Amino acid sequence: MTIRAEPVADAVAPHFDVEAFADFAFAELLACPLGEPGRCQNPDCQRPFDLRRDWQRYCSDACRAADKKEFRRVGLKAAPALLAHRLGKYETRDPALRALSAAARRYLGELQTHWLRSRRARAEEAKGRFNA
C-alpha cells in the first residue's frame, strides 16, 4: 500500500506555542532596542520617520515586507541547523550526533556573523544617503 503525500505547495508554516521574541523579551528590548527609535529598521532604508506608535519599527509597509522577506530567507537557512544543534546538544553516547550538533552550532555562528555584518553594512550605506 502506498501512502500518498498531501500537496504542500501553499501550506502555511506550523504555529508553535512559543510567543514572538518581541513579546518574550519585551522588557529587555525596551531597555536595549535592536534599532534606533524613529529610524526605519529595514537596513536598506534607514529613513528617519515620525513614530505613530512607540513600537513602530518601519517607515512603511514596503519596508516591513522587505525585512520580513529577509528574515524568512535567513530562517530557512538556519532552521535545519537549529534542529541539528538541539538534537545533539545533550548527547553523551552518539559521537556522530555530537559532531552533527557541533557542526550545526558552528554553521549558526557563521550565519549570524555574516547576516549581522551584511545588515550593518547596508544600514550604514543607507544612513549615509540621509546624512549627506
Q: Rounded mean pLDDT of 22-43?
A: 91
Mean residue pLDDT across the chain: 89
Q: What pLDDT was estimated at residue 113?
A: 97
Lowest mean pLDDT segment, chosen from 59-63, 112-116, 124-128: 124-128
Grid cell of 49 as nine digits:
520617520
Which ranges in 1-94 belong to alpha helices (H)?
21-24, 26-31, 61-88
Summarize pLDDT for 94-107 with one digit per residue, the tens.
999 999 999 999 99
- pTM of the predicted model, to two decimals? 0.78
Q: Is the pLDDT of residue 15 over 80?
A: no
Report the percent of the chain where pLDDT is more than 70. 88
Q: Rounded mean pLDDT of 56-64?
A: 95
Q: What pLDDT was estimated at residue 17?
A: 82
Q: How many other CB atoms sit within 10 Å of the CB of residue 98?
A: 16
Residue type, 97: L
Placement of cell 544543534 in the chain = 85
